[in-house]
Structure 1
């Protein structure tokens, strides 16, 4: 009887978590996590954003220009955080989704990895933690708080006219631009992208997500992903999120 009651309480709690998270469409990812020393260190912020997008959230960085429907009200979105609980011998991290009051609505199981290389260890631990989102089965239910963006104008005859204001484009989208065609050549764990010279412009490395790669372009590190047929390279420059649209032939 006690075991049955405990199981019922566990299932009820799990459903409550899922329902509360499903009320939210948007998630904000910080440019820098508290346990790291600089923005997007070890590519963790870009990877976190990409992971959340994979599971259906609409994700923005906290230092980019947000659309009006997102920025007008703090409580219509979730805030992502990655917490490090690791020690000297093992990397341990947890992904948390919080509401505007700081309440944790969802937390992953602890992702762990023993690799000595920090970049690889944190990336693999994040991938391990992300498995909890498979169990969450997130799906936005449309019942979250939405803010209608409009202005009211009174005409000379005393009638009122309601005019919708078009949301601002994000800085990341605005900075995207088309480039020359790059050609993908297979390497052991991904591809190198070459131009017509031919010269290697970028190297991209496979991830567990289809059409999503860890990318290196000179000193820039970020993510390359396919967004509705367009290849987008996302990265940071001086703590600010940037984006490039690339033409790639595989």
Structure 2
């Protein structure tokens, strides 16, 4: 009972019925561009309108499409739909759907569909769907009128008309399928190109990583070779040197006692600079090591120091 009352309220809200019912018309023609928009099918609003009507059983064509032969010969076999933008309300988008006959007489008009959505593409879609809600309850079903003096061959003529309509619909569907096929091929081509670019990028990154690894390997080999060269020059000695503390460091003397070198403290623990030479003395693995760079070669040797 509640559902019946709701349908009745919605039917009463649809304004502007003429004496001729929408069920008397077999076709509905929609414009490919509405007056309040700047381009054909802008925001795909015209396509959305056609989709909503087709969902309710209407046979819909755009005004720029090829029409069935019977409709081409007699445009009054179709209704003409339109969507108009209505002013009213602060920051509101209001749309209204109207359907007229071939003479411009209003057959049916929806209630306003309104929204406060700010983005036009979303706002127009929302407002259109809301306006269309009041047309759903019309329960459109094409019911051709039969005159009293219908001849016997009227059935044949009707079948021919239906055949023409089906042929036109088939051509339209074939066109849509072809467009979808082209779109699918375009998407596949773009995906293939994206995949190719991704592979090229991956190969480039792989080559860069390999080059970096080769450089690190060569650097490690050079370090090992350098250590081996330095190690071969290290002279081991059992001469004991005595460290005598002086201001700023130590002086090393041998058993004579003879001053061998002076060690100056540095900021690093167990690391001393050798006065008068480009050399240092440092502790490595529990041993004191003397390291000097003469400019042409490196000298490295162990020192036996007693502090």
- TM (norm. structure 2) is 0.46
Q: Which residue of 1 aligns with 2:109?
A: 107
CA shift at 1:74, angstroms?
Answer: 1.2
CA contact (8 A) 2:16 2:107 kept: no
Check 1:124–1:200 CA distance in 2 against 1; reply closer, same or farther (3 A cut). Answer: farther
Partner of residue 137 from structure 1, selected from 123, 136, 139: 139
CA root-mean-square deviation: 3.6
How many angstroms apart in 2 are the aligned matches of 1:119 and 1:141? 36
How many angstroms apart in 1 are the aligned matches of 2:66 and 2:172? 8
Q: Which residue of 2 aligns with 1:169?
A: 168
How many angstroms apart in 2 are the aligned matches of 1:31 and 1:16? 25
Count the aligned residue pairs. Answer: 163
Check 1:144–1:49 CA distance in 2 against 1; reply closer, same or farther (3 A cut). Answer: farther
Q: Which residue of 1 aligns with 2:44?
A: 43
Q: Secondary structure at the match of 1:75?
A: helix
Matches within 5 A, 1:201-240: none
How many angstroms apart in 2 are the aligned matches of 1:70 and 1:25? 9
Check 1:144–1:53 CA distance in 2 against 1; reply closer, same or farther (3 A cut). Answer: farther
CA shift at 1:173, angstroms?
Answer: 2.9
Larger radius of gyration: 2
Q: Secondary structure at the match of 1:169?
A: helix
CA shift at 1:169, angstroms?
Answer: 3.0
How many angstroms apart in 2 are the aligned matches of 1:21 and 1:56? 12
How many angstroms apart in 2 are the aligned matches of 1:47 and 1:109? 18
CA contact (8 A) 1:55 1:133 kept: no
How many angstroms apart in 2 are the aligned matches of 1:94 and 1:32? 15
Partner of residue 100 from structure 2, selected from 98, 101, 104: 98
Q: Which residue of 1 aligns with 2:69?
A: 68
- Give CA-to-partner distance per residue, 1:75-121, whole Å, 9 cap, x none: 11100010100356010010001000101100011000111100000
How many angstroms apart in 1 are the aligned matches of 2:135 and 2:95? 14
**Which protein is richer in strand relative to its size?**
1
How many angstroms apart in 1 are the aligned matches of 2:117 and 2:193? 29
Check 1:81–1:197 CA distance in 2 against 1; reply closer, same or farther (3 A cut). Answer: closer
* Structure 1 gap ranges (5+): 1-6, 146-163, 183-193, 202-250
**Which protein is richer in helix relative to its size?**
2
How many angstroms apart in 1 are the aligned matches of 2:193 and 2:18? 46
Check 1:32–1:14 CA distance in 2 against 1; reply closer, same or farther (3 A cut). Answer: closer
How many angstroms apart in 2 are the aligned matches of 1:117 and 1:15? 31
Check 1:66–1:116 CA distance in 2 against 1; reply closer, same or farther (3 A cut). Answer: same
Check 1:197–1:94 CA distance in 2 against 1; reply closer, same or farther (3 A cut). Answer: closer
Partner of residue 127 from structure 2, selected from 122, 125, 128: 125
How many angstroms apart in 2 are the aligned matches of 1:15 and 1:81? 14
* Structure 2 gap ranges (5+): 1-7, 148-159, 195-307
